[in-house]
Chains A and B, each alone.
Chain A
């Protein structure tokens, strides 16, 4: 395997409603910044891959327009996944492993605010047996939270603590959307929203875009004094039907953790893509992350949850921790689908 590192990361400020910029305008800004910050000339970016969803955009072939932000002339080697941008980065990493490129760009974008996100995500359910029931994304997450509470693997207090810590840490993240000082007791005094979830257990709806440049071997060493080396990356999926899953656990994350040799004793930081508070607790348990690992210094998905972008942003935020010296070894995680159905784990390490 070639050594490949994250060498730059750019993201928009995340907003509840991006009113003035189109997707192309958002993508143009983060792609230009990521390429400029990488120090790699655009012509040396040998592969580009994006992640987005037509259902988020509300039209077929929505990703085609994003090509207008790239300056794809002369024509470029490019692909697109209908997935979170973390998987676009994975495809780019594979192309570098093939020797087809030495540097690659992964980006993702979404303006969830144009639709009604929880209902849009109902369309992500099995169209024959689940979607017709009309359960939305928050409802699905609440089913999972109820199962975990009843199993005794999470508590409402622990969930509120996740929200308090995430919003507090987000104060240091200029691009985060939901930030500030809150108290567990006050949050727990709030009414249920979709029981057993309260509003603080749920992510904000966010518009935004992010871009990451990765580079191999000597290219990475040339442009960065402390590249965030991707020591391992793996992703796994679970069954879709909630009835045949144990929703209180995340076997796919555990497996991806094993495949990437994610050893909690050697990790300083973990950026977990947990849109709901109880999901962070499930993930921490699945990866056996103890108190020695700092969780989501960026504020995580509870501080900003741009659909299709948030997973890629976790990798970018974990890389920032490496670059700043805040961590020598970091775990980044991305998820998609209902109730943590599909998960990606990426281990980053500094020099």
Chain B
């Protein structure tokens, strides 16, 4: 690697169902200006733009970055647009980091967003393709059977998912940007919320949000001048096919390989002990224990115990989803980058009320497609 990379600016928008107060232009600028302000830089300090977003049909604009580049100071600069399904926010940050690590640029602004309220995302996802089998269960219908498989394999108590949701929803109350904030949330409210795709309850699912996230990444020289950089220790991406005979969709190999590669690059031999907190992509509550196992924080079939024992609580031994996670805010294209941003803010000591004391090394994680695209990074308060 030619050059070290660090996060020196982080910004995000308020996340809501419909941000009708801003256009897509206003939305991405809200996040980008906050990141620039945080980095104490201006548009002209930026060498290149990397923009990430989930399907273009969600906004009804083909390659919207073409009209957004100029409002993000992009005129005359290189601009890349990444799209790797739900993991895209993470992949976008990784592409941006690669530009620094390759020695191509010194400072890169990366922005990920979604503004589904401007089109009809449910329609975009349910275009009836002729010749193909009709959809039978909508979005959650794909993941609910995987959760059922996990419950059966692990023997996890049935209220595990409720406990995850309760923890994340309490954490979200400490995050001023979070979309869903239920001031008096408790176990019973979640348990009694309607069952949507059995075994997934309403309050165990993510919302659909308008929102954006932005990061300013810098090379070593710029990071040394920044008051609180988050150094990128390692990044990794993995992909496997959506379906094939014998594929383990509950504990996918791509996720395991990605984590193993990540830890090797970061010099981590015992992730459970060496990582101080993790922000992972959990769109349905049960994915917390599933990913804890996939990421090697717990042996297979044991991830639920960490949730159960309070290990993943904000004051636990390995806090998970300190921000309230995807369960609390889900601007799809930006959701992965928000995980990466939270990891960075934790090691910068800038996570506000949901700061983990003494967090020095943090994991950001995103996944997408049929649990087949993974992107991850490890950031630390010092260079590796």
Q: Do A and B touch each other in the complex, judged by CB within 8 A?
A: yes
Cα-based distance from A208 to B80 in the complex (angstroms):
23
B103 at the interface (CB under 8 A from A): yes
- Which one, A75, A99, A123, A240, contacts B253 given CB within 8 A? A75
In the bound complex, residues from chain B placing their C-beta under 8 Å from that of A342 are 66, 69, 79
In the bound complex, residues from chain B placing their C-beta under 8 Å from that of A59 are 57, 127, 129
Nearest A residue to B124 via CB reads A60
- What per-residue 1/0 map shows which CB atoms of B228-245 lie under 8 Å from chain A? 000000001111111010
Nearest Cβ distance between residue A123 and chain B, in whole angstroms?
4
Complex interface: stretch among B82-90, B191-199, B339-347: B82-90
Cα-based distance from A336 to B237 in the complex (angstroms):
27
A125 at the interface (CB under 8 A from B): yes
CB-contacts of A61-102 with B (<8 A): 61, 63-65, 67-68, 70, 72-83, 87, 90-91, 94-95, 97-100
Known: A60-B55, A64-B85, A237-B75. A75 touches B254 (CB 8 A): yes
Nearest Cβ distance between residue B264 and chain A, in whole angstroms?
13
A223 at the interface (CB under 8 A from B): no
Known: A53-B56, A75-B257, A77-B238. A82 touches B63 (CB 8 A): yes
Contact (Cβ within 8 A) A94 B102: yes
Cα-based distance from A130 to B64 in the complex (angstroms):
12
B61 at the interface (CB under 8 A from A): yes
Contact (Cβ within 8 A) B63 A72: no
In the bound complex, residues from chain A placing their C-beta under 8 Å from that of B63 are 53, 55, 82-83, 124, 336-337
Cα-based distance from A48 to B2 in the complex (angstroms):
21
Cα-based distance from A338 to B257 in the complex (angstroms):
41
| Most A-side CB within 10 Å, residue of B57, B62, B237, B257 | B62
Contact (Cβ within 8 A) B57 A55: yes
In the bound complex, residues from chain B placing their C-beta under 8 Å from that of A273 are none
B316 at the interface (CB under 8 A from A): no
B311 at the interface (CB under 8 A from A): no
Nearest A residue to B247 via CB reads A73
Known: A59-B127, A238-B75, A240-B69. A80 touches B102 (CB 8 A): no
- What per-residue 1/0 map shows which CB atoms of A146-186 lie under 8 Å from chain B? 00000000000000000000000000000000000000000
B173 at the interface (CB under 8 A from A): no
Nearest Cβ distance between residue A110 and chain B, in whole angstroms?
12
Complex interface: stretch among B91-99, B275-283, B289-297: B91-99
- Which one, B82, B127, B372, contacts A60 given CB within 8 A? B127
B78 at the interface (CB under 8 A from A): yes
Nearest Cβ distance between residue A322 and chain B, in whole angstroms?
23
In the bound complex, residues from chain A placing their C-beta under 8 Å from that of B236 are 77
In the bound complex, residues from chain A placing their C-beta under 8 Å from that of B57 are 54-55, 59-60
- Which one, B59, B125, B244, B252, contacts A127 given CB within 8 A? B59
B101 at the interface (CB under 8 A from A): yes
Contact (Cβ within 8 A) A98 B64: no
Known: A59-B129, A342-B79. A97 touches B95 (CB 8 A): no
| Most B-side CB within 10 Å, residue of A1, A61, A127, A251 | A61
A-B contact count (CB 8 A): 179
In the bound complex, residues from chain A placing their C-beta under 8 Å from that of B58 are 60
Contact (Cβ within 8 A) A236 B91: no
- Which one, A1, A74, A75, contacts B103 given CB within 8 A? A1
In the bound complex, residues from chain A placing their C-beta under 8 Å from that of B127 are 58-60
B76 at the interface (CB under 8 A from A): yes
Cα-based distance from A137 to B53 in the complex (angstroms):
23
B369 at the interface (CB under 8 A from A): yes
Nearest Cβ distance between residue B106 and chain A, in whole angstroms?
14
Cα-based distance from A76 to B83 in the complex (angstroms):
16
Cα-based distance from A61 to B369 in the complex (angstroms):
8
Contact (Cβ within 8 A) A82 B2: no
Number of contacting residues on B, CB 8 A?
61
Known: A60-B57, A79-B91. A72 touches B99 (CB 8 A): no
Contact (Cβ within 8 A) B78 A237: yes
In the bound complex, residues from chain B placing their C-beta under 8 Å from that of A76 are 238-240
In the bound complex, residues from chain A placing their C-beta under 8 Å from that of B62 are 53-55, 120-121, 123-124
In the bound complex, residues from chain A placing their C-beta under 8 Å from that of B78 are 234-237
CB-contacts of B1-53 with A (<8 A): 1-2, 23-24, 53
Nearest Cβ distance between residue B84 and chain A, in whole angstroms?
5
- What per-residue 1/0 map shows which CB atoms of A99-110 lie under 8 Å from chain B? 110000000000
In the bound complex, residues from chain A placing their C-beta under 8 Å from that of B24 are 127
CB-contacts of B122-148 with A (<8 A): 124-125, 127, 129
Known: A94-B99, A98-B98. A82 touches B66 (CB 8 A): no
Nearest Cβ distance between residue A193 and chain B, in whole angstroms?
23
Nearest Cβ distance between residue A125 and chain B, in whole angstroms?
7
CB-contacts of B346-384 with A (<8 A): 369, 372
A252 at the interface (CB under 8 A from B): yes
Nearest Cβ distance between residue A51 and chain B, in whole angstroms?
10
Contact (Cβ within 8 A) A75 B242: no
Contact (Cβ within 8 A) A79 B82: yes
Contact (Cβ within 8 A) A83 B81: yes
Nearest Cβ distance between residue A47 and chain B, in whole angstroms?
9
- Which one, B56, B75, B241, contacts A73 given CB within 8 A? B241
Cα-based distance from A127 to B129 in the complex (angstroms):
26
In the bound complex, residues from chain A placing their C-beta under 8 Å from that of B239 are 48, 67, 72, 75-78
In the A-B complex, the 8 residue pairs with the smallest Cβ-Cβ separation, listed nearest first, are: A97-B102, A75-B254, A60-B55, A78-B239, A123-B62, A55-B62, A75-B240, A240-B67
Interchain residue pairs with CB less than 8 A apart (11): A53-B62, A54-B62, A61-B55, A64-B372, A75-B238, A75-B258, A77-B237, A77-B239, A82-B83, A94-B95, A131-B61
Beyond A75-B258, A237-B76, 9 additional contacts (C-beta under 8 Å) are A53-B63, A55-B57, A59-B129, A75-B252, A75-B253, A79-B95, A87-B81, A97-B102, A337-B66
